[in-house]
Structure 1
Amino acid sequence: MTQIPIYWWGAVLGLIIAIVLILKKVNPVYSLFGGSIIGAVIGGASLNQTVTFIIEGTNSVMPAVVRVLTAGILAGVLIESGAAEKIAETIVDKLGEKKALMAIALATLIITAVGVFVTVAIIIVAPIALSVAKRAGISKTAVLLTMVGGGKAGNIISPNPNTIAIAKGFNLELTQVMIAGFIPALVGLIVTCIVGKLLSKKGVEIKDSDLMSKSESDVKEKPTFLKAMVAPIVAIVLLGINPVGNILNIEFLKKISIDSMIILPLAGLIGLLAMGKAKHVIKYTTSGLNRMSGTAILLIGAGSIAGVISKSDLSLVIVNIIKLSGVSGTLLAPISGILMAAATGSTSTGAILATGSFGKAILAMGIAPISAAVMVHTGSVVIDHLPHGNFFLVSAQSVKMNISDRMKLIPYESIVGGSMCIAATIIYGFLIK
């Protein structure tokens, strides 16, 4: 008779311990490892079994970790060369003050969608957004909400760590997950603009001291818009070859299957050459690696707790509860993403935890991998902005907003994230299974 190595309450206790440690400002990686060890042992596993389960869990996220690290080349090139900033500036300038909120949301969406971390995208767009919003008489509250909403929408269609982790977790191509998230992202963008408009005259006013001086903003020599777009365009074209071949049934294109581990760094290097900044290759790529390394290590920590949860009967217990309650099993996918991202205050960590812990149970309910992936993914952006996460603090600092005012924005951010999750659940959970 097969015995479950870890009881579900041990796995849950381990996750709770990890969350408490994170809230106590203990390093998130060590919090996750600590929760994994305590939860496994309390749940009935021996020390040797505990080590084995944690190693198996961390091994399961290694493909995602490798791809995240290589994606750092593209991110480093876009950020350090000034390309990302140039893209944002151009979008905001072209749409103008009358469409300032749409411009801010779209700029943040695009910067995030081409592979820049959502937190970094907000930092890049913030000075431009505040300057335009100040002239248009728009509040700081509306500006931050619009950037966050645009970033969330861009995050579910980007080659960012969370998308990579979701794709590998459900054995899908990265492009499949990115394309499938397009409609929910569009819904998120529209809702962002509506909510932003409602908040445009409410909340915190933008002061002159919030704006970056001209000398500060002009320090970096930026490329032209066309040169700045080379790397993103190359990445999008190469990532889209195989999906386009499958959609149009073109055999030649269907046979071309290049992994994102090759495409993203290659696009970054081609963009570097196009901007005439090849001499900075070491500086830019090192910066990109440094930016990604923290997230890569965090994914390993998430893999450890996911390994422990996957060896417990927690997923079976939750499935039974859902069946007894009469609620559709389809909802397990978005709910798992929502809860895990909320618990860790991170889209990436929440995505990998939900996938590793509940992926098999979700698929066992007859949900197609791509549908499961999109629902988990959009679920992970609903309340990933809670105060114990890095995103909360960084986004507040980007516009010089105090914690009290930043807290007031949480419900509105959840409306944006929730709209994407609801759209994905309706489309992929009930219309397409």
Structure 2
Amino acid sequence: MYIIHWGGAVVGLVIAIVLILRKINPVYSLFTGAILGALVGGASLPQTVDVIISGTNSVMGAVVRVIAAGVLAGVLIESGAAEKIAETIVDKLGEKKVLLAIALASMIITAVGVFIPVTVIIVAPIALPVAKKVGITKSSILLAMIGGGKAGNVISPNPNTIAVAKGFNVELARVMIGAFIPAIIGLIITYIVATLISKKGEAIKAAEINEVVSNKGNISFGKAMVAPIVAIILLALNPIGSILHIKILTELKIDAMFILPIAGLVGLIAMGKINKTIEYTTSGLNRMTGTVMILIGAGAIAGVISKSNLSSVVVSTIHSFGISGVFLAPISGILMAAATASTSTGSIVATGTFSKAILSMGVAPLSAAVMINTSCCYRSSSSW
């Protein structure tokens, strides 16, 4: 039952966007937009409270999994494992393929659960000296890192992927595997465009390299890869069982809430840093706190939109232009990610608002989840 007019939902979304652009805290911006949108849309004060609480409750599953992902992220970042992975990839591919190495390193590090801004901080000190030596500009390096990070984000256990998996009630691993081809295409396009602009823009200066060079951690590449490999294997067990019709694996359903912390702890043991467990996991939790708060705010605005008839209006508009209903998933992802300037928020809003309409058009839940996740990742201007 719709209790909010679609115009109110749009007003609330616009208010939230304007406040975010004015540098107001995103969480408060989203809640303010949700409250005002519900009231403008015709909801009473008690109804507004119920709608917002319902919306925030809908994202709690994603919130718990994001907190769990903080363990793996904290281990990879603080131990120096992520840096070692990036360093090895850049060294192995060499100077001639430095842009591919940078994009690939960024993709892999983001794919194992590290946020894009952190990935850039990790990869930049390794990439800049090599890039300066071969005469590549800052703009091409930055594009390679961001584009590679976006490609990795599509297949990562990051908040956006967790949100769409929860929203469409499919396994997280299935969404990650399903998005592999879009991720590879994104990586290829990133490499091509970065190569085309490699000689355009501002050159890298020696002083800048001296400022950013880092030498964190002395672990081997093999040990650095233990945590990501364990996470990938455990996440892939159920999908592999379904594909190969192995009953024991098909029935083995281990949630990401368990897998990601387990992978992080196994990685700590392999690196001989189990005594750093509290330090690294606390750091990981701190890195996730901001994202968790934003997810809750996104849940509030998604609750308002889901209680409105906005999805019906959008579906009718799409049909009036003669566009197939299958395109509703990527279109909704693009629109919501662009509107909220956030991958995670866009994923939550698009899923919460359009999931029923998308599924009613015959789109499979997994396909819908992959399309929304991919469109949100590649369209959003942010990385959270």
* TM above 0.5: yes
**Structure 1 residue corresponding to 2:165, chosen from 160, 164, 167:** 167
Q: For 1:310 and 1:390, how far apart are their aligned partners in 2?
A: 24
Letter aligned with residue 304 of structure 2: V
Match of 1:189 among 170, 176, 187: 187
Superposed, 1:183-262 pairs within 5 Å as: 183-213=181-211, 217-218=214-215, 220-262=216-258
Alignment partners' CA distance in 2, 1:102 and 1:249: 37
**Superposition pairs of residues 2-401 of structure 1, within 5 angstroms:** 4-213=2-211, 217-218=214-215, 220-385=216-381, 389=382
Kindly state the Cα deviation for residue 268 of structure 1 after the two structures are TM-superposed.
0.1
Between the aligned partners of 1:382 and 1:151, the Cα distance in structure 2 is 10
Name the CA distance, whole Å, in 2 between partners of 1:328 and 1:212. Answer: 54
Structure 1 residue 346, shift from structure 2 partner: 1.3
CA contact (8 A) 1:298 1:349 kept: yes
CA distance in 2, matches of 1:210, 1:341: 33
Tell me, in whole angstroms, the C-alpha distance in 2 between the residues paired with 1:273 and 1:267: 10
Please tell me whether the aligned partners of residues 81 and 222 of structure 1 are also in contact (alpha carbons under 8 angstroms). Answer: no
Unpaired stretches in structure 2, ≥5 consecutive residues: none
TM-score normalized by the length of structure 2: 0.98
Give the drift of 1:251: 1.2
Counterpart CA distance in 1 for 2:159 and 2:341 is 15
Structure 1 stretches of 5 or more lacking a match? Answer: 392-433
Q: Secondary structure at the match of 1:211?
A: helix
Residue 193 (structure 1) shift: 0.9
Query: 1:18 aligns to what SS in structure 2?
Result: helix
Q: Percent identity?
A: 67
Q: Following the alignment from structure 2 to structure 1, what is the Cα–Cα distance between the partners of residues 33 and 151?
A: 31
| Residues 107, 148 of structure 2: 8 Å contact kept | yes
Amino acid in the other structure paired with 2:278? I
Of 138-147 and 325-334, more deviation after overlay is shown by 325-334
For residue 349 of structure 1, report the CA deviation from its aligned partner.
1.1
Cα offsets for 1:283-326 (capped at 9, x unmatched): 10000000011101100000000000000011111111111221
Query: Could you say what secondary structure the match of 2:312 adopts?
Result: helix
**Matched AA of 1:5:** I
Letter in 2 for 1:191: I
> RMSD across aligned C-alpha pairs, in angstroms?
1.2
Q: CA deviation at 1:204?
A: 1.7
Q: Are the equivalent residues in 2 in contact too, given 1:89–1:128 (CA < 8 A)?
A: yes
List per-residue Cα deviations over 1:13-43 (Å, max 9, x = no partner).
0000000110111100100000000010110
Please state how far the C-alpha of 1:212 moved relative to its aligned partner.
3.5
Deviates more, 1:102-111 or 1:124-133: 124-133
Once the 2 structures are TM-superposed, how far is the Cα of residue 180 of structure 1 from its aligned partner? 0.3
* Superposed displacement of residue 255, structure 1: 1.7
Q: What is the aligned residue count? A: 384
Select between 343-352 and 71-80 the one with higher mean Cα deviation: 343-352
Tell whether the 8 Å contact from 2:302 to 2:349 is kept in structure 1 after alignment.
yes
Letter in 2 for 1:118: I
Amino acid at match of 1:196: A
State the alpha-carbon separation in 2 of the partners of residues 347 and 129 from structure 1.
Answer: 26
Cα distance in 2, alignment partners of residues 136 and 351 from structure 1: 39
AA at the equivalent of 1:319: V
